[in-house]
Amino acid sequence: MALKATIYKADLQIADMDRNFYETQNLTIARHPSETDERMMVRVLAFARHAHEALSFTKGLFDTDEPDLWQKDLTGAIALWIEVGQPDDKRLLKACGRAEQVVVYSYASNSSIWWNQIGSRLERAKNLTVFNLPTETSQALQKLAQRNMQLQCTIQDGQIWMTGGDETVQIDLVTFKAAAEAMR
């Protein structure tokens, strides 16, 4: 019998002063049986950082043809494709062909090795941005995970803070690759 997703609920207050975006999102997050709390919280961070009325979680690990999050325009075209983890270069090149902008959030301790292996094959992908979260940061985010979460995300001058309960995590993203276009 197949295992089912575990459902998490998050009230996420977003104050993105860099984009003048202030909103509270009530998220329902389906965590795949093979997904860790760490990965799920990186997805929540990606959602907060790119928050938009059309941004949504997808089937993710349940459907290999979809990213972890995406934003579609009114015509159904993919404006933003967000991957979490260490996707292979073929998947990323395919995503770059399908979406206006592609963003990857890697977080494992071996992310530098992963990027060194595939980075040169992705130089031509002008609409690709790749960020890395230091291991200490992603593990600190993991500690915020609860079945019912009250989270606040503040973004100012490129700095990100995620707060849950009494814990605040400062998030300093390392840019492995910046897109040629301005980031959404």
Confidence class for position 181, pLDDT limits 50, 70, 90: low
The answer as to whether 101 is a domain residue is yes
- Tell me, what CATH number does 44's domain have? 3.10.640.10
The answer as to whether 25 is a domain residue is yes
Q: What is the pTM of this model?
A: 0.92
Number of domains composing the chain: 1
List all residues 6 or more positions away from 119 whose beta carbon is below 8 Å from its beta carbon. Answer: 130, 176, 177
Whether the predicted pLDDT of 173 surpasses 50:
yes
The answer as to whether 29 is a domain residue is yes
Q: Which domain holds residue 78?
A: 6-155+165-177
Q: Structure tokens of 126?
A: 């002008």
Whether the predicted pLDDT of 2 surpasses 70:
no
pLDDT score of 1: 52
pLDDT score of 66: 87
The answer as to whether 1 is a domain residue is no
The answer as to whether 128 is a domain residue is yes
The answer as to whether 183 is a domain residue is no
The answer as to whether 184 is a domain residue is no
Measured CA to CA, the distance from residue 15 to residue 67 in angstroms comes to: 25
pLDDT score of 33: 86
- 26-35 long-range Cβ contacts below 8 angstroms, 24+ apart: 27/57, 29/57, 30/5, 30/6, 30/57, 30/60, 30/62, 31/5, 31/6, 31/7, 32/5, 32/60, 32/61, 32/62, 33/3, 33/4, 33/5, 33/6, 34/61, 35/60, 35/61
Residue pair 126/181 in contact by the 8 Å Cβ criterion: yes
The answer as to whether 33 is a domain residue is yes
Measured CA to CA, the distance from residue 174 to residue 124 in angstroms comes to: 20
Confidence class for position 183, pLDDT limits 50, 70, 90: very low
pLDDT tens digit string along 79-137?
999 999 999 999 999 999 999 999 999 998 899 999 999 999 999 999 999 999 999 99
What's the CA dihedral at 147, 107, 81, 169 to 10 degrees? 50
From residue 95, alpha-carbon distances to 76, 128, 184 in Å are 15, 9, 16
Confidence class for position 65, pLDDT limits 50, 70, 90: confident
pLDDT tens digit string along 19-42?
999 999 999 998 988 899 999 999
Residue pair 140/166 in contact by the 8 Å Cβ criterion: no
